[in-house]
Amino acid sequence: MNASVHLLKSELFFNSELQLFVNRCTEDFNLPFHAHDFLEYSYVAEGAGFHHIAQDIVPVQKGMLFVIPVGVPHVFRPSSSNVSEHPLIIYNCLFHTELIHKLSLAIQEEDIRSHLIDLANNEVSYISIGDQNRQIEELLVKLYRETSVAGIGSSSMLFTLVCQLIVTTYRQLHQKRQGEHGHSSDFEYILQYLNQHLGMRIRMSDLSHQSGWSEKQIGRMFLSNTGQTFSSYLQHLRIQKSRELLKSSQHKVSLIAELVGYRDVDTFYTVFKRITGETPLTYRKRSRT
């Protein structure tokens, strides 16, 4: 594992026979970029911010769920340093590998069992979906309450709720993929166009003209495929590309800003720091250390 990635181990969280840990926490800037030897479901309950996960920076808002496989590094960051006024609150549900084995025996459907095992073995990418009708939020609230105030039959109740969480998440993921199937080739074309014209001014009307889709349809495609609006996706794509150039080239920051579509270097600095938490020069220096 990369030395800059902190490892969180199971023994820090699990001390019950069920091998399950659920909490509700306010994210800040103290927790380092980290991975863990357990499976994690993380749900955005309140606020907005960014999820640094694997090589991506994903803007987050209420109603987004992330399923983080064993070994995948990540960290949440709030959108503001004033966490008391603008908190980013996350429900975390952690599964010990022993519990994953028990769940795989209890779940009847082979596809869902295989999905769960793949997550545990780090054989699939992380998952990001929007919660439909707040079904996932309701389950996580019940899990949190049951772990906070245990009662008669709590272990059985928690096991049942965890099974529901896994199956409900899988259903919503399946529905999302089915909905994306019909427009996948069109959306890939749009993403390719963005990558090829990143240094230019790009408007939704340009994408509509190039693809033949209406602006409203393109907006829905971005939300369903990326969980982001068009403008948010474009902004984060530009910052992602600038990070690559800061690491791999000797270009001045002003030139890199222009290459990724920013005509005003001050705006570039502001957006870069808001998304990554550091200035372009600090990022360049750290990435080359």
Task: For 229-275, write each residue's pLDDT tens digit.
Answer: 999 999 999 999 999 999 989 999 999 999 999 999 999 999 999 99
**Structure-model confidence comparison of residues 252 and 178, the more confident one:** 252
- Confidence at residue 266, expressed as pLDDT on a 0 to 100 scale: 94
Q: How far apart are CA 247 and CA 251, in angstroms?
A: 10
* Reported confidence tier of residue 178, pLDDT bands at 50, 70, 90: low
Could you tell me the pTM of the whole model? Answer: 0.64
pLDDT in tens, 187-237: 888 888 898 889 888 988 888 877 777 788 888 888 888 888 999 999 999
State what percent of residues in the chain have pLDDT above 90. 50
**Structure-model confidence comparison of residues 150 and 143, the more confident one:** 143
Residue 285: both structure tokens together: 């220096």
State what percent of residues in the chain have pLDDT above 70. 95
Q: How far apart are CA 95 and CA 143, in angstroms?
A: 12
- Sequence length of the chain is 289
pLDDT in tens, 58-79: 889 899 999 999 999 999 999 8
Q: How far apart are CA 243 and CA 278, in angstroms?
A: 11
Burial tier of 209 (Cβ tally within 10 Å: 0-12, 13-18, 19+): exposed
Positive/negative CA dihedral, 256, 261, 263, 267:
negative
Give yes or no for a contact between 162 and 103, defined as CB atoms under 8 angstroms apart.
yes
Q: How far apart are CA 64 and CA 158, in angstroms?
A: 22
What are the C-alpha distances in Å from 169 to residues 43, 140, 209, 245?
11, 11, 36, 37
Nearest to 92 by CA among 166, 144, 49, 51: 144
DSSP assigned state of 16 = S
Please state the rounded mean pLDDT for residues 152-156: 90
* Reported confidence tier of residue 2, pLDDT bands at 50, 70, 90: low
pLDDT in tens, 80-126: 888 888 899 999 999 998 898 889 888 989 989 998 998 988 888 89
Q: Is the pLDDT of residue 175 over 80?
A: no
pLDDT in tens, 17-63: 778 999 999 999 999 999 999 999 999 999 999 999 998 888 898 99
- Confidence at residue 79, expressed as pLDDT on a 0 to 100 scale: 87
Give yes or no for a contact between 2 and 45, defined as CB atoms under 8 angstroms apart.
no
CB atoms within 10 A of CB 51: 24
Domains, in order of start, for the chain: 6-180 (2.60.120.280), 184-287 (1.10.10.60)
